Amino acid sequence: MYHGKAGRKLGRTSSHREAMFRNMVTSIIKHESIRTTDTMAKEVRKLADRMITLGKRGDLHARRQALSIVRDKDMVGKLFGELTERFRNRAGGYTRIVKVGYRFGDNAPVSILEYIPDEKKKEKAKSKRKAKEKKAE
């Protein structure tokens, strides 16, 4: 029976899958957006959100847990600094998956997995847009 087996296998061995997820999480921390298949995005989202949660904890043990997955000290520094401050007042839901179409070679559904943008930047952009619209009238 298949009880209690969480997560997708994605046609890979467990070591390959784990290494691939580590690389993808490092990439999303570095670039804040990655393009991948829908099923991989859904799996990587779990790890990416968990990394932000570790960053918000901020203690030494959380940093070591993050280093066991990310393996790049600069990216862990970014995670515990810039990204943690961005999501300080947010209680979960740090990533978004946007479906963008299908891959050319095998017609696999493709998505963009990204961290949600900063609320302050979004408010500034809205106020600029409103000012521009008023000016146009």
Instruction: Please report the pLDDT score of residue 129 as a whole number.
Output: 77
User: In the numeric block, which tokens belong to residue 26?
Assistant: 């490092």
Instruction: Calculate what percentage of the chain has a pLDDT beyond 90.
Output: 80
For 95-115, the pLDDT digits (tens) are: 999 999 999 999 999 999 999
> pTM to 2 decimals?
0.83
What are the structure tokens assigned to 43, written together? 């799996």
Closest by CA to 26, choosing from 96, 106, 83, 111, is 83
Q: In Å, how far from its chain's centre is CA 72?
A: 16
- How far is Cα 111 from Cα 101, in angstroms, rounded to an integer? 7
Residue 127 CA, chain-centre distance (Å), reads 27
The amino acid at residue 81 is G
Residue by residue, DSSP assigns 85-135 as HHTTT--S--EEEEEEEE-TTT--EEEEEEEPPPHHHHHHHHHHHHHHHHH
What pLDDT digit, counting tens, does each position of 25-45 carry?
999 999 999 999 999 999 999
What is the band of 119 on the pLDDT scale with cuts at 50, 70, 90?
Answer: confident
Q: What is the CA radius of gyration of the chain?
A: 18
Looking at residue 104, what is its pLDDT?
95
Which residues is 114 bridged to in the sheet?
33, 96
Report the mean per-residue pLDDT for the chain.
92
* Nearest partner of 53 among 21, 15, 95, 18, judged by Cα: 95
How confident is residue 2, by pLDDT bands cut at 50, 70 and 90?
A: confident
pLDDT (0 to 100) of residue 133: 81
